[in-house]
Amino acid sequence: MKKKKVAVIGATGVAGQQFLASLSGHPFFEVTALAASERSAGKAFKDALTDASGAFRWYCQEPLDPAFAKIRVEDASKLEASKVDLVFTAVESDAAKELEPRYAKTTPVVSTASAFRYEEDVPIFIPGVNLDHDKLIAVQKKNRGWKGFVTPVPNCTTTGLAMTLKPLHDAFGVLQVLMTSMQACSGAGRSPGVIGLDILDNVIPYIPKEEEKVEKETQKILGTLVDGKVAPAPFPVSATCTRVPVLEAHTEAVYVSLSKHATVDEVKKALRDYGREFTAMKFPSCPPHLIEVLEDPFRPQPRLDRDREGGMVTSVGRVRADHALPNGIKYMLVSHNTKMGAAKGGMLVAEYLAHKNYI
């Protein structure tokens, strides 16, 4: 297969860099354009990452691919999207609202931004969970008269929750969901993100707009495609989202009421067995399992479990009966918010879409 040409927008930011880390030596995709704000435009990418004080602002553990280092950064607002086969966008929502439709006129866009998530004709993909929502792509193209399309990944807090609810809903039916998150600082980005003075020795009990996103997105992702629209999953989701002094990975305490009784072992089995057909397709960014169920009662822990299987697996532990809800089950999960929950998850979506010839 000839490699598809891709552009990364917001390349100097954390999420953009993570797209790039995933794209180094990628078998399907070849980076031919990088774009960022006007301020960086015209500079070699490596220089755009170096600030006035001499600090080199590359944030990934993986080294910067020398091939990317010398690409000249373009102004995102002037990028000619038609020259690439796929655009990855990793920009703030306001910028996405303006840029993504422009790119999508000619070219598919896989985005980490929330700008289009709640549009009726836009699917929010989680790999292995709702890729059958791909039929919305044709609807979107037709509605908007675009040759390309926009497919955002969900909010990073939604990913682990929807991933673990899906097998439970398939196997037992879900009636109610109550979730409390303990989210990592990286979820807030770096400009300025969460400042040290606020988070050291502390919990911040509120993340603006986060709970609404998680509630709405989970229902949409687990919904059913009917007549070219997603009918949201019929069960209510209630979220409390907090920030804790953790660098990476969101931890979530989940309470679920099921439609019918299931033992703890049945629940674990449903979680463990989930997604085998998808992982069997062995896409480059796909982990060996979508969900891992841990038996050590002290796991999952964000620091110890976030990098399992390249940060692409959702780690579940402490699965146990809950006696407050009908057919109640409770568990903890850890999901890497900036890997499976952001750019690397978007990369896996793109791999699937390329395989399906959407790209």
As measured in angstroms, the least distance from the Cβ of 240 to a second copy is 4
- Residues with Cβ < 8 Å from 298, sequence gap 6 or more? none
Specify whether the CB–CB gap between 20 and 11 falls below 8 A.
yes
**156 tagged catalytic:** yes
As measured in angstroms, the least distance from the Cβ of 167 to a second copy is 20
Please identify, using beta-carbon distances, which residue of 130 and 251 lies nearer to a second copy.
251
CA 267, 269, 275 angle in degrees (round to 5)? Answer: 110
Give SS3 for 44: strand
Annotated catalytic residue: which of 156, 185, 241, 286? 156
Give me the amino acid identity at 272.
Answer: R
**250 tagged catalytic:** yes
Give me the amino acid identity at 108.
Answer: P
As measured in angstroms, the least distance from the Cβ of 46 to a second copy is 13
- How far is Cα 86 from Cα 101, in angstroms, rounded to an integer? 13
Please identify, using beta-carbon distances, which residue of 27 and 193 lies nearer to a second copy.
193
As measured in angstroms, the least distance from the Cβ of 200 to a second copy is 5
Give SS3 for 351: helix
What are the structure tokens assigned to 20, written together? Answer: 């790039």
What are the structure tokens assigned to 29, written together? Answer: 């995709």
Binding site for a second copy (CB under 8 A): 53-56, 176-178, 180, 182, 185-186, 190-206, 208, 236-238, 240, 242, 244-247, 251, 253, 255, 295-304, 317-318, 322-325, 328, 330, 332
> What is the DSSP code (8-state) at residue 161?
H
As measured in angstroms, the least distance from the Cβ of 173 to a second copy is 15
Peptide bond into 192 cis (omega under 30): yes
Beta sheet of 86-89, edge-to-edge order: 73-75, 29-36, 4-9, 86-89, 109-111, 150-152
As measured in angstroms, the least distance from the Cβ of 312 to a second copy is 17
Please identify, using beta-carbon distances, which residue of 11 and 49 lies nearer to a second copy.
49
Please identify, using beta-carbon distances, which residue of 141 and 272 lies nearer to a second copy.
272
- How far is Cα 185 from Cα 163, in angstroms, rounded to an integer? 22
Annotated catalytic residue: which of 26, 133, 250, 289? 250
Please identify, using beta-carbon distances, which residue of 227 and 295 lies nearer to a second copy.
295
Please identify, using beta-carbon distances, which residue of 99 and 194 lies nearer to a second copy.
194
Specify whether the CB–CB gap between 146 and 105 falls below 8 A.
yes
Exposure string of 168-188, with b = 16+ CB inside 10 Å and e = fewer, is bbebbebbbbbbebbbbbbbb
User: Which residues are known catalytic residues?
Assistant: 156, 250
